[in-house]
Amino acid sequence: MARREARRKRPLILRILAVTAQVILTAALAAVAAVLIIDLVVTGTTRRRIMTADDAKLAEMEDVDAVIVLGCSVRPGGVPSAMLADRIDAGVEALANAPAKLLLMSGDRHEYYDEPGVMLERARQLGVPEEMLGEDPEGFSTFESVVRAAKTFGFRRVIIVSQRYHLYRALYIADRAGLEAYGVTADPRTYSGQAFRELREVAARVKDFFQCMFRI
């Protein structure tokens, strides 16, 4: 009773601040919970379809339309970054082990910057025949690369190549776009700044979760 009376006697501004703080805390906890749930959905529904480029299951697949290598940063002078080089190498290996018709390089191309061009050149150097090479220079993001594979290129069954932390999101987008997709990892080494990438990827999964809801 005394405590209730004390609360009544508090200045109105303090009561407003207390309620506001409670609302903010509740909203923050709800947001954190939502992020964790979305992250679990994206990773949990796709992890069983991720494999290595030498996995025997690749040879058992049928009618694979394309092995899609997702682009990332290119250094000055047209040199692929370590992550990109590893993706290309894993894509070439996956192409050799799976009954795929095409190795598609999907990335960003604009003035003075050309991810697909750099990717194609490395694939040529690794011995991939020209007739098995393709490009999508409008793969400006993971979402666009994967959705374009379904909507623009008309693929139905694909293998997507990237680092493992990135594949969960790519495969989730593929599911929502109507693709039967499998992931091949490109993680032969440890990359600098990976902890930051992992954290940023959680936010990217949330972003693309909602993009899948409203744009596909």
For residues 194 and 141, state if they share a domain: yes
For residues 141 and 115, state if they share a domain: yes
Record the pTM. Answer: 0.90
CATH number at residue 56: 3.40.50.620
For residues 114 and 203, state if they share a domain: yes
Q: Are 185 and 164 in contact (CB under 8 A)?
A: yes
Domain that holds residue 10: 2-43
pLDDT digits (tens, 9 = 90+) for 119-174: 999 999 999 999 999 999 999 999 999 999 999 999 999 999 999 999 999 999 99
pLDDT digits (tens, 9 = 90+) for 64-122: 999 999 999 999 999 999 999 999 999 999 999 999 999 999 999 998 899 999 999 99
For residues 35 and 69, state if they share a domain: no
Say which residues have a Cβ less than 8 Å from residue 135's Cβ, sequence separation at least 6.
104, 105, 106, 116, 117, 119, 120
What is the number of domains present in the chain?
Answer: 2
pLDDT digits (tens, 9 = 90+) for 2-48: 455 545 556 778 778 777 888 898 899 999 999 999 999 999 999 99
